[in-house]
Structure 1
Amino acid sequence: MTTIDYSSSATFREVTDRNGRVYRIGETDRHIMGRPRWTMVLFPWMGMLGISSSEYAFTSAEDTLHEAHLWSSGHIFWLMGVWVFFQAAVAFPAGQLRESGKLPARYAMMVGALGTILGYLSLAFAPNVIVAYLGFGVCSGIGAGFVYATCVNMVGKWYPERKGGKTGMVNGGFAYGSVPFVFLFTSYMDLSNYRGVLVAVGLVCCSVVAFAGWFFKDPPKNWWPPHVDPLKMTDDPKIRRALEKNPPAVKQYTPKEAARTPVLWMMWFCLLCTAGINIFGIAFQVPFGKDMGFAGGIVATAMSLKAIVNGTGRGVIGWISDKFGRRNTLIIVCLVLGTAQFGVLVSGQMGSMPFFLFCSMVSGFGGGAIFPLFAAMTADYFGENNNASNYGMVYSSKLISGLVGSGVGSIVVGVWDYEGAFVLAGCIGLGSAVLALFLKAPGRPKTSRRTVPNPQPLGEEMA
């Protein structure tokens, strides 16, 4: 077996399983970056907190922005759609730059911090709506895309043996961070202070992203934690169950190889549908609640609860998927998300505030849970080495779902009213559950429930 010096204090060896997948073992997290790997859950989580307000709290500022700049409600929703478009569009190229070594993680986060402050400055001082589209929709969207792609894929690299719960926790930051800003934009910001509020929020969010990003560091390619033998069954029941339910990918797929598998595009379409429903709920829950006669404070509470449960759902669902399998969990989440849309509609029509709050939280849970599931599933199916690019391809479906959920959603509401729009969203969610039944890891034998590793490491096979 070959041993290669990595540094003066650590060595590693490479072993391979029966599928030919290589694992680099021997180096600890402290050898690589001088601190424990849980910090690479904490700092990515903080980075996600910093960009969350741009999506989840933006529509709460609709009334003030409309009055201050005389932008129509249509422009407000299309601004969000453009933001989501560019946030998703940059995921794949950002992943390519990251994995090629041309864009270190720290610099990617600095790009995100710059985009965040530019977005809020444009909302505060834009002389016309075109500047807002460029500043908030394009610059802030691109910046958020760099942060999102870097944070979500970073944690999977550091926890390849049990990535579901950790990925979910980091992904949850994308919703938690918006909660104080929902109340701020709804209850405090007005024509007298909107510029100061927007600038202050931009500076805070920019600082959080930049601070977190300064500590980012990638592990080496194929890295595997030394305390978990990839070729033997581990004694840790949590890790053993997670690996049984979600076996590692049979090999490290390049983006070209992943793109040739049908399952990647099935995942792309499933995320398109479910993300579209999630964005539709974010964009229209506040105006729907107001039209149904609920007080502004109640609507803000509903939106905040939605954001809290959305973030909680991302963390909890990752832990659940480690125990019961990613695909099985995704099927249940799609059913919950679709059913919740009918509940939001009925609760509003009934004028039942408690039911409205409950259905809003359920919808938020389902809408948030889909993203860490697809992020972890992409790594499970195609490997961690190129996960930023591979997940970037899957996540690119949000290019369309953002425009459909927000911009086209406003057209559907105008033509069919809220009833037709929520019924359509619910049916799409239920259909996504059917599609999720057909998602299976590529290259894995159909007759085997899990991959049995080759007990001989690389080098001994060659002897």
Structure 2
Amino acid sequence: MTMASTTSTSQRPVTYREVTDHNGRMYRVGETDIDIMGRKRKWMVILPWVGMMGISSAEYAFASAEETLHTAHAWSSLHIFWMLGVWVFFQAAVAFPAGKLRESGKLPARYAMMCGALGTFLGYLSLAYAPHVVVAYIGFGMFSGMGAGMVYATCVNMVGKWYPERKGGKTGFVNGGFAYGSVPFVFLFTGYMNLTNFRWVLVSVGIFLAATVAVAGYFFKDPPKNWWPSEIDPLKVPDDPRTRRALEKNPPAVRQYTPAEAWRTGRVALMWFCLLCTSGVNIFGIAFQVDIGDEAGFAGGIVATAMSLKAIVNGTGRGVIGWLSDRYGRKQCLIFVCLVLGLSQYGILWSADMKNLPLFLIFSSISGFGGGAIFPMFAAMTADYFGENNNASNYGLVYSSKLVSGLLGSGMGAYVVSHWGHSGAFTLAGSISLFAGFVALFLTPPGRPRKKDITPNPQPTSREAI
């Protein structure tokens, strides 16, 4: 048996070994989280969660500032909704290249977070002082979107690296920060910000959120490639029933796929399309729920409450569905979420037509749950299917569907509403999500045989190497 050693953060030599399972996948075991970074790995859940909250208001609270920005800068509502679409475009566009740079070691996690903090500040600064709408498109749409994309990709993929054995609940929790971190800003932009104070409000928010992202990111650290928790033997059935069930329902990838290899399996294309549909519906709901609430005659404060409930349930639902997916399987939960998201769009339309406020709030919350829960499902499923080593770039491929869905959900959503009204737009959105659920039926882990083809009790082989 050959062994290897590294030097930990405390300068104490740490011995590790590399073992291989019957699929040929390698695991690096022996090093604890404290050996690697000097603290418990739970901090790589808490800190990414804080970082995600720092970028959430740019997407989830932006629609609440639409009326003030429209009046203060004389920007058309169509411009403002397209601005959100551009933000989502650049947020998704940076995910894959940032992932490649992260995995090559050229962009450490800490520096990626600092870039994200700078982009966050520039976005709010441009909304406050842009002399022309084009400057706002560049400052908020491009720079803030790219910064948010770096933060999002870094935070979500960090969790999967540190919790490869039970990533669903942890990924969902971190992903939830991207929604409910916006709640106080929904009320701030709707109930407090006005034409006399909007500039200092936006700049103050930008400084606070940029500092939040930077401080959280300063402590980020990646584990080594192929790292596996030292207390869990990857070649044996875990003793912990929670871990055992999670690995049974969502077995680790048979090997570490590169982005090109992952694409050739065909699963990335299916996941890309499903996320395109569902994230487009989610962004559409964020952009136009305030409008349909106003059209129904609900008071502005009530509509803000509905958006806040949507954001809270959106974020909380990400953690809940992540936990459920560890217990019942990622694919099963993804299909369920697609159905919930689709049916809730019909419910929002129905309750608004009836002018029934309690039902409007209920369906808004259900829509928030469905719209948020799709993201941790795809983030965790990508690592399940293709491994953790290249997860930042592999998930970047899947997440790049938001390049299109942001423009469709916000910009094209405005076009559909102007021609078909809210009735036609929300009906179309619900149908698209239901179709995504049907497509998800065809998702299966690559390289893994079907259950009926598996030989009972396969004997794993192992080797130890440097």
Give the Å deviation of 1:212. 0.2
Equivalent residue for 2:349?
345
Give the Å deviation of 1:450. 10
Q: Contact 1:14–1:22 (CA<8 Å) still a contact in 2? A: yes
Distance 2:457 2:24 in 1: 12
Equivalent residue for 1:19?
23
In the alignment, does 2:365 pair up with 1:361?
A: yes
Which one of the candidate residues 59, 72, 84 is aligned to 2:76?
72
Aligned residue pairs: how many?
Answer: 460
- Map 1:12-411 onto structure 2 (within 5 A): 12-411=16-415
Distance 1:123 1:221 in 2: 41
Distance 1:42 1:459 in 2: 33
1:50 counterpart letter in structure 2: G
Q: Contact 2:17–2:464 (CA<8 Å) still a contact in 1? A: no
Equivalent residue for 1:2?
2
Question: Are the structure 2 counterparts of residues 402 and 452 from structure 1 closer, same or farther at C-alpha, using a change threshold of 3 Å?
Answer: farther
Distance 2:22 2:125 in 1: 55
Give the Å deviation of 1:314. 0.4
Question: Are the structure 2 counterparts of residues 374 and 233 from structure 1 closer, same or farther at C-alpha, using a change threshold of 3 Å?
Answer: same
SS in 2 for 1:173: helix
1:110-169, CA deviations, whole angstroms, 9 ceiling, x for partnerless residues?
000000000000000000000000000000000000000000000000000000000000
Distance 2:373 2:49 in 1: 16
1:426 counterpart letter in structure 2: G
Question: Are the structure 2 counterparts of residues 438 and 451 from structure 1 closer, same or farther at C-alpha, using a change threshold of 3 Å?
Answer: farther
If the length of structure 1 is used for normalisation, what is the TM-score?
Answer: 0.98
SS in 1 for 2:55: helix
Give the Å deviation of 1:265. 0.3
Give the Å deviation of 1:456. 3.6
Give the Å deviation of 1:99. 0.2
Give the Å deviation of 1:108. 0.1
Q: Contact 1:88–1:398 (CA<8 Å) still a contact in 2? A: yes
SS in 2 for 1:48: helix
2:336 counterpart letter in structure 1: I
Question: Are the structure 2 counterparts of residues 375 and 453 from structure 1 closer, same or farther at C-alpha, using a change threshold of 3 Å?
Answer: farther
2:239 counterpart letter in structure 1: D
Distance 2:193 2:462 in 1: 62
Q: Which runs of 4+ in 1 moved over 2 A?
A: 447-457
Q: Contact 2:22–2:462 (CA<8 Å) still a contact in 1? A: no
Distance 1:275 1:454 in 2: 42
1:384-436, CA deviations, whole angstroms, 9 ceiling, x for partnerless residues?
00000000000000000000000000000001000000000011111111111
Give the Å deviation of 1:453. 7.0
2:462 counterpart letter in structure 1: P
In the alignment, does 2:458 pair up with 1:457?
A: no
2:2 counterpart letter in structure 1: T
- Give 5+ residue unaligned stretches, structure 2: none
SS in 2 for 1:167: helix
SS in 2 for 1:438: coil
Question: Are the structure 2 counterparts of residues 450 and 370 from structure 1 closer, same or farther at C-alpha, using a change threshold of 3 Å?
Answer: farther
Distance 1:148 1:100 in 2: 18
- Sequence identity (%): 71
Distance 1:453 1:390 in 2: 29
Q: Contact 1:16–1:454 (CA<8 Å) still a contact in 2? A: no
Give the Å deviation of 1:454. 5.0
Distance 2:454 2:295 in 1: 51
Q: Contact 1:247–1:450 (CA<8 Å) still a contact in 2? A: no
Q: Contact 1:232–1:455 (CA<8 Å) still a contact in 2? A: no
1:246 counterpart letter in structure 2: N
Distance 2:459 2:278 in 1: 38
Give the Å deviation of 1:451. 10
- Give 5+ residue unaligned stretches, structure 1: none
Question: Are the structure 2 counterparts of residues 297 and 45 from structure 1 closer, same or farther at C-alpha, using a change threshold of 3 Å?
Answer: same
Distance 1:266 1:19 in 2: 24
1:5 counterpart letter in structure 2: S
1:67-103, CA deviations, whole angstroms, 9 ceiling, x for partnerless residues?
0000000011000000000000000000000000000
Give the Å deviation of 1:457. 2.2
Distance 1:84 1:12 in 2: 42
Distance 1:452 1:196 in 2: 65
1:167 counterpart letter in structure 2: T
Distance 2:419 2:68 in 1: 26
Question: Are the structure 2 counterparts of residues 448 and 9 from structure 1 closer, same or farther at C-alpha, using a change threshold of 3 Å?
Answer: farther
Question: Are the structure 2 counterparts of residues 449 and 67 from structure 1 closer, same or farther at C-alpha, using a change threshold of 3 Å?
Answer: farther
2:196 counterpart letter in structure 1: S
1:226-259, CA deviations, whole angstroms, 9 ceiling, x for partnerless residues?
1111000011000000000000000000011011
Give the Å deviation of 1:201. 0.4
1:428 counterpart letter in structure 2: I
SS in 2 for 1:15: strand
Q: Contact 1:14–1:458 (CA<8 Å) still a contact in 2? A: yes
Distance 2:89 2:456 in 1: 38
Give the Å deviation of 1:455. 3.9
Q: Contact 1:231–1:454 (CA<8 Å) still a contact in 2? A: no
Give the Å deviation of 1:261. 1.3
SS in 2 for 1:10: strand
